[in-house]
Amino acid sequence: MSQYQAPLHDLRFVIHDVLAAEAEFARHGAFADASRDLIDAVLEEAGRFCVQVLAPLNRSGDEEGCRLEEGAVSTPQGFREAYRQFCEGGWTGLTAEPEHGGQGMPEVLGAAVKEMIDSANLSWGMYPLLSHGASEALKHVAEDWQREVFLKPIVSGEWTGTMCLTEPHCGSDLALLKTRAEPNPDGTFAITGTKIFISAGEHDLTPNIVHLVLARLPDAPAGTKGISLFIVPKFKVARDGAVGARNAVACGSIEHKMGIKASSTCVMNFDAAEGYLIGQPNKGLNAMFIMMNTARLAVGLQGLGLIERAYQNALAYSRDRLQMRSLSGAKRPDKPADPIIVHPDVRRMLLTQKAIAEGGRALALYAYLHEDLKQKATDPTARQRADEVVSFLTPIVKGLLTELAVECTYHGLQCFGGHGYIREWGMEQFARDARITTIYEGTTQIQAIDLLGRKIMQQQGAGLRHFLGEIGVFCQAQAGNPALAEFTGPLARHAKDWQALTMEIVQRAGGNAEELGAAAVDYLFYSGYVALAYFWAREVAALGPSHGAGFRESKLATARFYFQRILPRTGLHAAAIRSGADNLMALPDALFAV
């Protein structure tokens, strides 16, 4: 049976000691109420909820799945009660603005809570995830009455939200979108079309669901410049908030999936459904990107949560499972064999999981800290800088942590040997659940093109410059610290190489656009591995006597493992990038199968 314990010690270490969140907020005039004691209390209570309420439903939810009967979706047993407790605890509005009924806590705290939710029960966590994204879009682009009528019930948890983008014929290419929005005489719109892969599109957790739907107005220009965004509730809602009859939106089917089976993934049919325009006509994609970027960071947290859960269970099993003797002699002569944790390759897998989980946690929470500064810093220059940093890091957090979740859940399963393949141990579920994280909210390839094409080429690498500058300041500040020399030296060299490699790609892409696509995924991995090295160096620098000898030794050993065993992967990615696009593009299509 799979177990889970909330990693509260490491979460506190990262938030308070590595990122110094409280001091950062004070410096930028933000979140004056988010004290260390309050953050710790929230983490403690969230950990209890995740361990005691959500984790026990993870396997049963996977086995039961969702059911669709006569257009209504039933979630697995226990999900509704867990959601009721979640709402009663105020978790739905943890980071929402007080004027909308929320608690106004920072996103970095919300992200720590979300990591624990995703470790405990990824499928269940999909329902509030979509509501958070819908809340962000409504907060930034909705009219005042729309915030009052639709945002507040989502913040309270009374209703949930979705984002409806993809259609059967267009996948991620929204320029091909066909859903129509016809104006009605009363100022509403009739929305007609079919959306697919809609997470939480229909369920029994709340009486109403607020769909944010991309559609085209009759006079809209072709392509992405002709897309508008609409609020389409499951039950009609008047401007005064009165809930009316069932709207003409229905779940046509739910997908039978490889993983996240307790999350309802729906085909949604809109048949002249009543909706309201949100934001400006033909500017819907800009509004939807607010949701998408929120969701992309959140999916990175899903990858992180699965890495942590797989690691915890692989570690426990490796300590207990007896098999063969250590190559250097028996470590447990009182037993018929040694525990498998004595074997070097088992340790390689465990340390890979540990290094990625703990380094990835610092990376993800750093990104969320900058999301907070982007929204709340009093200085406009600081807000712009934070915006550029979080924009740059979003595809890295999403792409890298989800791809490494596939690797690390594989390692976790592998530690179990044949038992990892058996459902009762729970490891195969983590591997199945992890696989979708590299696909939805933009595949790894889309994240890579966003990173290299938009954040480097179009935005002249503003976020990268900030990030590299910060690495340089850190390395210079630690130049006289012999305890960090083994980390700051390689980190400084990799940062310099990162900058040079970026310039090489930009120059080659100027002569051949295919070079951009050929380099993108390797560039994302390269960037991610250097970023993780930076945060591992910061973790070592943050260690002090108050952390305890065991914690310090564990962090130092894991940092060395990362720098010596994982960071060298950058060499492989750099070599692949420098090999160019020809080895990918030279083979004619017809000759792929001969």
Residue with tokens 């064999």, as numbered in its chain:
337
Using DSSP bridges, classify how beta strands 265-278 and 208-215 pair: parallel, antiparallel or unpaired.
unpaired
> How far is residue 446 CA from its own chain's centroid?
15
Is 129 within the bounds of a domain? no
Residue range 503-516, pLDDT digits in tens: 999 999 999 999 99
Q: Which domain holds residue 458?
A: 446-585
Total number of domains constituting the chain: 1
Per-residue pLDDT band for 594 (boundaries 50, 70, 90) equals confident
List pLDDT tens digits, range 202-233: 999 999 999 999 999 999 998 889 999 999 99
Distance between CA atoms of 102 and 96, rounded to whole angstroms?
4
Q: What was the pLDDT predicted at 458?
A: 92
Region 559-578 average pLDDT:
98
Residue 461 in any domain: the answer is yes
Kindly state whether residue 562 falls inside one of the protein's structural domains.
yes
Specify the pLDDT at position 223: 87
* Domain-located, residue 262: no
Q: Percentage of the chain surpassing pLDDT 90?
A: 95
Hey, what amino acid is at 99?
Answer: E
pTM for this structure? 0.97
Query: What is the distance between the alpha carbons of residues 284 and 265, in angstroms, rounded to a whole number?
Result: 23
CB-hemisphere CA count at 13 Å for 49? 25
Model pLDDT, residue 576: 98
**Confidence check: pLDDT of 170 > 90:** no
Catalytic (active site) residue 441: yes
pLDDT number for residue 291: 87
Q: How far apart are CA 545 and CA 489, in angstroms?
A: 24
Q: Does the pLDDT value for residue 173 go beyond 80?
A: no
pLDDT at position 171 over 90: no
Residue 392, domain member (yes or no): no
Query: pLDDT band at 175, cuts 50/70/90?
Result: confident
Residue from 388, 441, 515, 539 carrying the catalytic annotation? 441
Calculate the alpha carbon distances from 152 to 106, 113, 138, 243 in Å.
18, 21, 10, 14
Residue 563 forms part of a structural domain: yes
User: Which residues neighbour 183 within 8 Å (Cβ) at sequence distance 6 or greater?
Assistant: 189, 190, 217, 218
Give the mean pLDDT of 188-201. Answer: 97
Are 408 and 356 in contact by the 8 Å Cβ rule? The answer is yes
Residue at 535 is within a domain: yes
Residue 99 lies in a domain: no
What was the pLDDT predicted at 195? 96
Residue type, 349: M
pLDDT tens digit string along 43-88?
Answer: 999 999 999 999 999 999 999 999 999 999 999 999 999 999 999 9
